[in-house]
Structure 1
Amino acid sequence: MIRALRHLVLALGLGLAAGAASAQGADPGIVESDFLTIEFDRLFAESAYGERVAERLEQEGTEIAAENRRIEAELTSEERELTEKRATLDPMEFRALADAFDQKVQGLRREQDAKARAVGELSERLRREFITASEPVIEQIMREAGAVVILEKRSLFLSADVIDITDAAIARIDAEIGDGSEASEAPAQP
């Protein structure tokens, strides 16, 4: 009963808000409402900016993975050679070679881990830049709707799709910001 009442109140409120938006000549697709919702992950992923960032991060990740496979093959070969030499070497000499090999492996692992962390940090930085660049566009939509707040849709228990501005925001961000390639991007490698 309470749930049905909640749905009825929500439907009536949104119906009135949609009517008011139409009457005032607001942008079609943007309802006049105090509350709007947005799916940030979808906004980022489906915008031209987010698609460009994803492509770049995928490329850098692929390069690191290929480098890891190459290094692994080289180290496997080097380890095999070291194992074959073991029978002919003095134990102290072998121990020194094995320790040097181990240090090399550890150093390479640290380098590759640093590269992977750099890509993760780049991803976070580019997401923050996207938020900064898209904020004025989203604020304009908020003003047009007469909204006082925009909520992340995933944090809501129940909402009507009519207050979701994700699609409109993607379209406007693509039109006003594009893929964001003008923004400066530092290389992911440390």
Structure 2
Amino acid sequence: MKFPALLEFKVATEDWEFELIHQLNYKTFVEEIPQHEAGVSRRLVDKFHSENTYLICLCDKSLAGMLAVRAQRPFSLDQKLPRLDDYLPKGRTVCEIRLLAAEKAFRAGAVFQGLLRLVRDYFRQNSYDLGIISGTTTQQKLYKHLGFVPFGPLLGTSQAQFQPMYLTLETFEEATKALFAVVDSSS
């Protein structure tokens, strides 16, 4: 999927793409949102790396943005919130969306919109109908706009607090219908 001309949205498959993912993870989750300790290598390999599917946005050979989807239990939220399933709608096929990150120069519309579309398509292709996240408290307005429902207590530290949230595919499709219609008409 290409959108607009210089941006390419895809599932990461190449070694060089994974290296860029580790570097962006470091910038985002060590330098910006202090969740991990600094390291000399300036790269952060996610503890679930081998189980993650990375949905990415490339601009030429640079990583503009990314997120990871993972369906294998236990989720990272299982480890932070006992009895996770008690908070979730029953009868759903759940996956966890993690590691949403974008280079600062790409944090406006097109990258985020393209990643949202890629997530929607990935959910449909894999029959997922419920996504869970640990959403940063600084972006609650955005998450609400997309249809996320907060549940459970805040997690994390005073420097980086996160709200567990879930999103059904139906709510997500409804919330993004207008956004995707605009994107489709300009393609």
TM-score normalized by the length of structure 2? 0.23
Larger radius of gyration: 1
Higher relative contact order (CA 8 A, sep 6+): 1
More helix by proportion, 1 or 2? Answer: 1
TM-score calculated relative to the size of structure 1: 0.23
Give 1 or 2: higher strand fraction.
2
